[in-house]
Amino acid sequence: MNKNVKLLLIIILTAVISSGLTLTLAKPETIVQEKEVQQNPDFAKLVDTYEKLEQKYYQKTDKEKMVDGAINGMVESLGDPYSAYMNAEDSKSFNETISSSFEGIGAELQEIDGQVMIVSPIKGSPAEKAGLKPKDKIIKVNGKSVKGKTVNDTVALIRGEKGTPVKLGIERGGSQQLEFSITRDEIPIETVYTNVTDDNIGRIQVTTFSEKTAADFSKAVKNLEEKEVKGIVIDLRQNPGGLMDEAIKMSEMFIPEGKNILQVENKDGSREAYRSENKDPVTIPSAVVVDEGTASAGEIMAAALNESADIPLFGEKTFGKGTIQTAEQYKDGSSIKFTIAKWLTPGGTWVHKKGIEPGEKVSLPSYAKLPYLDPSKPLKPGDASKEVKTAQAFLNALGYRTEENGLFDPKMKEAVMNYQKDHDLKQTGIIEKDTAISMLTSLQELVKKNDTQMNKAIEALKK
């Protein structure tokens, strides 16, 4: 494929919480030239309002803030969660973190109906380690409500330096209220991870699509080919998207010449097909694993491989984000990002707000979706709460039987002490910080060991 694709596919315009406003996007290449508006009657009211406020408002006005507010208002009037205006400071931070590491908690965000929602935590990030999950809604930051605030506003409250804490109030499942205390850290932009199973099946996990993802993915595939693996599982779970051109390059590696990778539908309804030009596609039997955190460019790749390379999909229905954004920068360093088109699957399906249903539906064990166990809140005998019930579910999943009744009774204390004994912890019968962290780690290891979605894909390739 020799088309110079410069479209930016964005799952969320202010996606990664960090010390700056960051997202894995290519730097904006188009400089928007400011135009004289006096000759355009549509702007007469805007200019008149600006002049009246500047001349007659009873206090001194901030011209920059007024202009920023006007632009931001125009973008917000679109009602599109994927379009946004960023001032020079946020735009600078945004661009600086595209191909480097950044400091933050590492979570992809999206704004829906006035609420900021987590699309996916980044692999290995503080957000993932703390237990944040896709579709968690952020309702408080450091005890202050963020209801009605934009993604930009919320990110401004959350971002901060490495080593500093931030408390997030989360609404999960429409009713459950949780609080997370997360320490910000440096988040490396490493997006491709690979290993080989004992059954000689190669696994490639792609966490997001950034500037070097396609190159790293190509190296991983070639490495597995040299090892003569029996099959390849491409893990796109919790992948919130990123650069569209990277997803296209990666998909084309598996798609024969002439077949569609995707279609783009423009404002006027016209469509353009992006077709593979690969005369020597990868022929190793392959499979793709997806879930509700697979979005945007991740969905492009999943759909392309499934429809044009007959590669089966395993897991759960994807997020459903089917629009394309571009980024343009003003001379003062500020920028706007806005939706310019729809993307469609090779066969012409628009997955927006619908998602992609895998052919092989596989769910993770129920304990993989347990609520977060907060290490900052000790649980002791006599306590009765939802947090106690969560801890009981953790203990049961880890093989320490107790009733899940929300009451820290003698049976639960015995289970806690047995867990502490088996894990070389002080046997207090109280779930304090060290015990809670150990239980979180043990559960993560259990989920990894019993990864039913990955195991199903591997079994299919072994046949």
What was the pLDDT predicted at 12?
Answer: 31
What pLDDT shows up at residue 100?
A: 43
Give Cα 405 to chain centroid, integer Å.
34
**Distance between CA 428 and CA 418 in Å, rounded?**
10
Residue 101: per-residue pLDDT:
56
Cα torsion for 204, 206, 207, 209, to the nearest 10°?
Answer: 160
- Structural domains in the chain, sorted by start: 192-322+346-365 (3.90.226.10), 373-449 (1.10.101.10)
321 is catalytic: yes
The pairing of beta strand 231-235 with beta strand 260-265: unpaired
Cα distances (Å, whole numbers) of residue 423 to 8, 131, 436: 47, 21, 12
Query: Burial, 412: exposed, middle or buried (Cβ in 10 Å; 0-12, 13-18, 19+)?
Result: buried
Residues 6+ away with beta carbon under 8 Å from 319: 11, 119, 134, 240, 292, 293, 294, 295, 296, 299, 355
- Residue 91: per-residue pLDDT: 74
Asked if residues 217 and 245 have their Cβ atoms less than 8 Å apart, the reply is no
Mean pLDDT by 10 residues, the chain (463 residues): 42 31 35 51 86 93 91 92 83 54 76 80 85 90 88 80 92 85 83 94 93 94 97 95 93 98 96 97 98 95 98 97 90 89 97 97 94 88 96 98 97 98 97 94 93 97 89
Nearest to 263 by CA among 210, 313, 311, 300: 300
Angle CA(440)–CA(444)–CA(449) in degrees, nearest 5? Answer: 145
> Cα 417–422–427 angle (5° rounding)?
30
The dihedral region occupied by 227, where left means phi > 0, alpha psi between -120 and 50, and beta the remainder, is alpha
| Residue at token pair 């600006």 | 50
Kind of pairing between the strands at 30-32 and 84-86? unpaired
Q: How far is CA 387 from the centre of its chain?
A: 26
296 is catalytic: yes
Q: Which residue in 285, 290, 294 sits closest to 458, CA to CA?
A: 285
Query: Residue 102: its pLDDT value, please?
Result: 67
The pLDDT of residue 39: 62
From the candidates 133, 249, 321, 413, which is the catalytic residue? 321
Phi, psi of 290 (to 5 degrees): -135, 165
Residue 43: its pLDDT value, please? 82
Residue 25 has a pLDDT of: 37
DSSP one-letter code for 14: T
- Between CA 268 and CA 274, with CA 272 as vertex, the angle to 5 degrees is 155
Gap between the Cα atoms of 212 and 158, Å rounded: 27
Environment class of 287 (CB within 10 Å of its CB; exposed 0-12, middle 13-18, buried 19+) = buried
